[in-house]
Amino acid sequence: MQHAATAGHIELPTSTGLNSRKLLMWLFLASDCLFFGPLITTYLIYRGRSPVGPYPHEVFDIPYTSVSAFVLLMSSLAMVLALAAIQRGDVRGLRIWLLATAGLGLVFLGGQFYEFNTFFHHDGLSLSKNIFGSSFFVLTGFHGAHVTIGVIWLLSLFAGSMRGMLHQGNSLNVEIAGLYWHFVDVVWIVIFTVVYLIPAPLPH
């Protein structure tokens, strides 16, 4: 909720010395873990239970998804560089790396869109086709929604920086967006490992 806050936001001293908005993001992310947890669990329980195909091993293209996973991981590097830039007051560097982060995020989303499209039109896997499709699309779809929100957030920060609203003194705005972005990345590492890399049992 605490979006790219206004320049000159007054930060009062706190009991712990920790910034309240940063703490809010950490707590929200902890809560979000409990959102992805059941989604991943559902997938793991359901993936070998489809009475009809297509089955996971028939549709996954591991090399392709590895590339898009790599792209998303690199976006985290760009995010780190964006924060480092604004923390030393380099607004130009911030703009470049924010755009790079958002751009890599968009490439990942494009890759996911292409992948969903292939599964749907080529392999005939849809939300309602079987339980594998249901749990796969809902899990990765919610992750994609998180990435989308992140991209919008990053582009908003970029727009704010173009209007001179971000500077060394309020780099926290970038840091909090970064926390969210890194979290979404980490979740993808888990999803990529347990959904794509660990082979699913064949249906009995």
C-beta closer to other proteins: residue 80 or 118: 118
Could you tell me which of 105, 106, 97 has the C-alpha nearest to residue 78? Answer: 97
Give Cα separations from 109 to 24, 42, 58, 104, 147 (angstroms).
Answer: 27, 23, 22, 9, 7
Give me 186's structure tokens. Answer: 């980490």
State the minimum distance, in angstroms, from the CB of residue 103 to other proteins. Answer: 19
Q: Which stretch binds other proteins (CB under 8 A): 27-35, 54-62, 78-86, 91-99?
A: 27-35
Give the whole-angstrom CA distance, residue 177 versus residue 157.
9
Q: Phi and psi for 132 in degrees, rounded to 5?
A: -65, -45
- Residue 190 DSSP code: H
Q: Closer to other proteins at the Cβ: 73 or 155?
A: 155
Shortest distance in whole angstroms from residue 115 CB to other proteins = 12
**Contact stretch for other proteins (CB under 8 A) within 20-28, 87-95, 182-190, 191-199:** 20-28
Within residues 46-65, the interface with other proteins by CB under 8 A covers 46, 49-51
**What tokens were used for 31?**
């809560």
Regarding 197 and contact with other proteins (CB under 8 A), the answer is no
Query: At its nearest, how many Å lie between other proteins and the CB of residue 36?
Result: 8
Q: Does 114 bind other proteins (CB under 8 A)?
A: no
DSSP secondary structure letter of residue 17: S
Work out whether 29 is an interface residue with other proteins (CB under 8 A). no
Binding residues for other proteins, rule CB under 8 A, total: 49
DSSP string, 22-81: HHHHHHHHHHHHHHHHHHHHHHHHHTT--SSS--HHHH--HHHHHHHHHHHHHHHHHHHH
Minimum Å gap between C-beta 77 and other proteins is: 26
Does position 193 bind other proteins by CB under 8 A?
no
Residue 51: asked if its preceding bond is cis (omega within 30°), the reply is no
What is the closest distance, in whole angstroms, from the C-beta atom of residue 132 to other proteins in the complex? 8
Q: Footprint of other proteins on this chain (CB under 8 A)?
A: 1-6, 8-10, 14-16, 18, 20, 23-24, 27-28, 30-35, 37-39, 42, 45-46, 49-51, 113, 116-117, 120, 127-128, 130-135, 138, 142, 156, 163
